[in-house]
Amino acid sequence: MQLVIGNKNYSSWSMRPWVLMRHFGLAFEEIKLRLEFGSDTQFQRELARYTPAGRVPVLLLDGHAVWDTLAIVEALADALPALPIWPRDARDRARARSLCAEMHAGFSALRNHCPMNIEARLPEAGARVLATEAAVRVDLARIDAMWSGQLGASGGPFLFGEFGAADAFYAPVVARCRSYALPLSPLARAYADRVWATPGVAAWVADALAERDFVAEDEPYRSAPI
């Protein structure tokens, strides 16, 4: 298997399947493309070798391209049915898919105003966004309630007991909460800390910190390279 990804510091969508695959100890080759925005970039030209969709991540299964995180997670679950990527219980599985779909299709205010930037510490930007953007407050409250409710239902330590696709989908939100110092309830904060400490997430974060790259489009709150 190969996984085509963007910069680890910035590419929240790439992070999701990568940490899931790493968590389950899957052997895969990582193909990292430097993010660039706009048309006719080197990023777009290289990516076009793998997908016509123009976005990372892309999973190559025996050379067959699967793109978009939801499709990638489903393809992994199909290919590796012994792994608890989704919960075993059908109702839990349906709920886990709902949470992933909610992330995939929603939380645009949080995503737009607090783009993932693992190495950055931007508490002032976070405070400003929370003070001025009601939609971000709504997104954060929904995520906190989702995590807290789901941890109460499952008993933890992860959303459905053991770490799986739903936790991987929310790992970039954990990164945003840290960078922008977004407030969480004690239950949600403890969950976020557990996610951060998982070996797959920790490995991604270590790689992100080592990148020391600067993509201006992903740095709305800073104008200078690190």
Residue 161 backbone phi and psi in degrees, to 5: 95, -90
Least separation in angstroms between residue 187's CB and ligand GSH is 27
Q: Please tell me the count of residues contacting ligand GSH according to CB under 6 A.
A: 13
Q: Are 13 and 173 in contact (CB under 8 A)?
A: no
One-letter amino acid for residue 225 of the chain: P
Tell which positions 27-46 bind ligand GSH, by CB under 6 A. Answer: 37
Q: Mask: binding to ligand GSH, 77-116, rule CB under 6 A, as x and -?
A: ---------------------------x------------
Cis peptide before 186 (omega within 30 of 0): no
Mapped onto helix, strand or coil, the DSSP state of residue 8 is coil
Tokens of 162: 């053991």
> Cα–Cα distances in Å, from 135 out to 15, 75, 132, 175, 185?
24, 33, 9, 19, 18
Q: Is the CB of 67 or the CB of 180 nearer to ligand GSH?
A: 67
Q: Is the CB of 55 or the CB of 137 nearer to ligand GSH?
A: 55
Least separation in angstroms between residue 131's CB and ligand GSH is 27
Q: Is the CB of 4 or the CB of 151 nearer to ligand GSH?
A: 4
Q: Is the CB of 68 or the CB of 144 nearer to ligand GSH?
A: 68
Least separation in angstroms between residue 190's CB and ligand GSH is 27
With CB under 6 A as the contact rule, the residue among 51, 68, 170, 192 that binds ligand GSH is 68
Q: Mask: binding to ligand GSH, 3-22, rule CB under 6 A, as x and -?
A: ---x----xxxx--------
Least separation in angstroms between residue 176's CB and ligand GSH is 13
Q: Are 118 and 179 in contact (CB under 8 A)?
A: yes
Number of Cβ atoms within 10 Å of the Cβ of 148 = 16
Relative to beta strand 64-67, strand 58-61 is antiparallel
Half-sphere exposure of 136 (CA within 13 A, CB side): 21
Q: Is the CB of 85 or the CB of 130 nearer to ligand GSH?
A: 85
d(CA 80, CA 50): 22
Q: Which residues bind ligand GSH (CB under 6 A)?
A: 6, 11-14, 37, 54-57, 68-69, 104
